[in-house]
């Protein structure tokens, strides 16, 4: 992709580009804890978004998307959201930079990616971080990684209309090869945890489904958590979010909360604890415990938080029944997407065959498989650009 995007840029704009890259991400464990200021455990992956960029003297920005095979031109003086269009990610990051006192000049840009569509690897966050890395590098702006992350998050809120959390852009910016980030969503700080899986491999199985329940269910779950916090403040006046409830207080919480709210609160409280336990187990290279935590996370997401679906439950159950698989869980917001599986490398071919055959028989869908490699975060990978 690096070679292709450079060649396309040179063909279109007759100059050598600067090339930036930002990776997608997986989340090892910790779903629906971020908006309760909890812990998450993401890692950057090798798939990501490439941006080729160079200055121009045209007075306007000229863009081309490889994936959409589409050109777009706009003036820096007329930046405003374009409903449902990929250009929003460029305009959104430019808007954030301008609000922070920078004054980008006109440029040419080509965008291309290697993230599989619908795999839940957060291509939108990777796109925003790649764009931000490219523009700030081209104009030599001194912008910290954390500022870039916050720009990307706000850009998605205002220009793409997505109320995303901090995890996705954070992992894309701060990722480190062979490490995961134990990220605290209260203070936006992280600890790098080395990941040594020995003869095991992380494998995503893409269910290739996305149910329409996702958005409305997300909002309902979020509201349930916020309502639970308000009720629990009577007994726990010091808490700000469910993150502040100790797992040892779970029985007390069950007695306080209405029956319809408790399971949702239970998931957030126990999942937050599982993230901490997962990081500790990987520090010890205790993969058996880590695998059990993956399984427990899936059960909690499916039974308590109710954000799974028949396809994800089937894939997780099939994998959990295999001796050579230490753990399996749904990854992401729910109602479709991928399962994350910890599989013995020697069993990979058989794992794929068994899962594909059983899933196709049950649902008539052939799943995709993505072997995960934990990689570094965003960077400039070629900087021989022409400047005017």
CB 117 within 8 A of CB 89: no
Q: What are residue 88's phi and psi, to 5 degrees?
A: -55, -30
Rounded CA gap, 116 and 118, in Å?
6
Question: Between β-strands 39-40 and 42-55, what pairing exists: parallel, antiparallel or unpaired?
Answer: unpaired
Rounded CA gap, 287 and 278, in Å?
9
CB 267 within 8 A of CB 300: yes
Would you tell me how many other CB atoms lie within 10 Å of the CB of residue 110?
27
Q: What are residue 112's phi and psi, to 5 degrees?
A: -150, 155
The enclosing H or E element of 124 equals: helix 123-138
* DSSP state, residue 172: H
Rounded CA gap, 73 and 97, in Å?
19
CB 340 within 8 A of CB 328: yes
In a 13 Å sphere around the CA of 50, the CA atoms on its Cβ side amount to: 23
Q: Which of 147, 149, 133 is nearest to 18 (CA)?
A: 133
Active site residue 168: yes
Contact partners, residue 175, CB within 8 Å, separation at least 6? 23, 25, 42, 43, 44, 181, 374, 375, 376, 377, 378
Rounded CA gap, 79 and 90, in Å?
10
Alpha helices (runs of H) in 140-240, residue ranges in sequence order: 145-155, 167-174, 214-232
Token look-up 């930046």 returns 79
Q: Which of 168, 215, 244, 344 is catalytic?
A: 168
Q: What is the 3-state secondary structure of 86-97?
A: CHHHHHHHHHHH
The token pair at 99 is 């609000």
Rounded CA gap, 102 and 136, in Å?
9
Rounded CA gap, 243 and 220, in Å?
18
Q: Which residues carry out catalysis?
A: 168
């Amino acid at each position: 992709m690096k070679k292709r995007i450079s060649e396309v840029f040179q063909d279109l704009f007759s100059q050598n580009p600067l090339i930036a890259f930002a990776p997608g991400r997986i989340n090892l464990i910790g779903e629906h804890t971020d908006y309760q200021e909890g812990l998450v455990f993401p890692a950057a992956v090798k798939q990501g978004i490439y941006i080729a960029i160079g200055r121009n003297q045209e007075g306007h920005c000229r863009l081309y998307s490889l994936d959409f095979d589409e050109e777009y031109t706009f003036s820096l003086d007329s930046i405003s959201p374009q409903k449902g269009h990929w250009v929003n990610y460029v305009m959104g990051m430019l808007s954030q930079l301008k609000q922070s006192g920078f004054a980008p000049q006109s440029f040419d840009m080509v965008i291309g990616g290697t993230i599989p569509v619908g795999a839940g690897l957060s291509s939108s966050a990777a796109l925003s971080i790649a764009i931000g890395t490219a523009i700030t590098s081209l104009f030599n702006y001194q912008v910290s990684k954390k500022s870039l992350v916050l720009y990307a998050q706000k850009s998605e809120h205002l220009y793409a209309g997505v109320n995303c959390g901090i995890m996705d852009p954070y992992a894309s910016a701060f990722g480190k090869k062979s490490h995961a980030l134990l990220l605290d969503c209260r203070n936006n700080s992280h600890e790098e945890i080395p990941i040594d899986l020995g003869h095991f491999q992380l494998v995503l199985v893409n269910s290739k489904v996305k149910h329409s329940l996702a958005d409305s269910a997300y909002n309902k779950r979020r509201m349930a958590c916020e309502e639970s916090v308000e009720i629990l403040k009577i007994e726990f006046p010091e808490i700000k979010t469910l993150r502040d409830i100790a797992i040892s207080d779970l029985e007390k919480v069950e007695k306080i909360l209405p029956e319809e709210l408790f399971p949702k609160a239970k998931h957030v409280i126990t999942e937050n604890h599982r993230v901490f336990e997962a990081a500790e187990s990987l520090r010890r290279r205790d993969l058996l415990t880590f695998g059990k935590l993956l399984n427990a996370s899936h059960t909690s997401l499916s039974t308590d938080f109710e954000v799974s679906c028949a396809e994800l439950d089937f894939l997780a159950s099939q994998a959990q029944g295999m001796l050579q698989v230490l753990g399996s869980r749904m990854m992401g917001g729910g109602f479709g997407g991928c399962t994350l599986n910890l599989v013995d490398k020697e069993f990979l071919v058989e794992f794929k065959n068994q899962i594909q055959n059983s899933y196709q028989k049950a649902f008539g869908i052939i799943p995709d498989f993505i072997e995960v490699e934990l990689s570094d975060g965003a960077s400039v990978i070629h900087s021989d650009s022409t400047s005017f």
